[in-house]
């Protein structure tokens, strides 16, 4: 059995957690740094065999804080970067609805034809994230892997690993600094923990 620990990065200093920052390289806020420390304390007794993170600072710094208690190098993966929202970057959903009503309509319908102006469409995003799976294939079944990324890529990975239709990718709630755990077996994967934020209490 292999165990995959999926961690979403902490809060950013971008001014609002309601804004879509995508590939904008915003930093962790003071609270976000504290959340990463709490994740570190939560995971200190785990024995990880590999740590992967997105290239974006809010995820990579979260990973670095956790990794400080483990003797492991971090592998940066562009495949784990958040979706490129293009012109939607930095906007709230209300602003997207006002400025790009067709995008908002497609977004709400959970259609896989979703496309962000001057950014990625779902097919591009999905193709990029799915390439990360080849990295996991290189690990033995007994290994434990930590993946620190963003809500979008992590949701897709959950779908892939559990064998779910990708139409469900936005139906998982993954809060900031949350922990989810998937146990993989030869024939199936089991979601044993989802969106756990008890370490932040």
Catalytic residue among 9, 11, 89, 120, which? 9
CB 81 within 8 A of CB 87: no
User: First vs last Cα of the chain: how many Å apart?
Assistant: 30
Catalytic residue flag (residue 82): yes
Catalytic residue among 11, 79, 82, 120, which? 82
> What's the burial of 201, exposed, middle or buried (CB within 10 Å: 0-12/13-18/19+)?
exposed
With CA atoms as reference, report the closest residue to 65 among 37, 28, 101. Answer: 37
Residue 50 dihedral angles phi and psi, to the nearest 5°: -160, 150
Positive or negative torsion for Cα 140, 142, 144, 147: positive
86: left (phi over 0), alpha (psi -120 to 50) or beta: left
Catalytic residue flag (residue 37): no
Active site positions, annotated: 9, 82
């Amino acid at each position: 059995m292999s165990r995959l620990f999926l961690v979403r990065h902490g809060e950013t200093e971008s001014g609002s957690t309601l804004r879509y920052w995508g590939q904008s390289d915003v930093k962790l806020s003071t609270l976000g740094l504290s959340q990463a420390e709490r994740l570190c304390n939560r995971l200190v007794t785990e024995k990880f065999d590999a740590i992967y993170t997105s290239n974006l600072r809010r995820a990579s710094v979260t990973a670095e804080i956790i990794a400080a208690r483990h003797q492991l190098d971090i592998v940066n993966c562009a495949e784990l970067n958040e979706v490129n929202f293009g012109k939607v970057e930095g906007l709230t959903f209300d602003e997207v609805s006002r400025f790009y009503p067709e995008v908002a309509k497609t977004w709400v319908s959970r259609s896989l034809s979703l496309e962000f102006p001057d950014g990625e469409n779902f097919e591009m995003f999905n193709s990029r994230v799915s390439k990360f799976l080849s990295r996991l294939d290189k690990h033995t079944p007994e290994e434990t892997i930590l993946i620190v990324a963003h809500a979008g890529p992590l949701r897709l990975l959950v779908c892939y690993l559990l064998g779910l239709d990708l139409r469900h990718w936005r139906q998982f709630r993954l809060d900031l600094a949350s922990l989810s755990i998937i146990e993989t077996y030869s024939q199936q994967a089991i979601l044993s923990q989802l969106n756990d934020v008890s370490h932040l209490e």
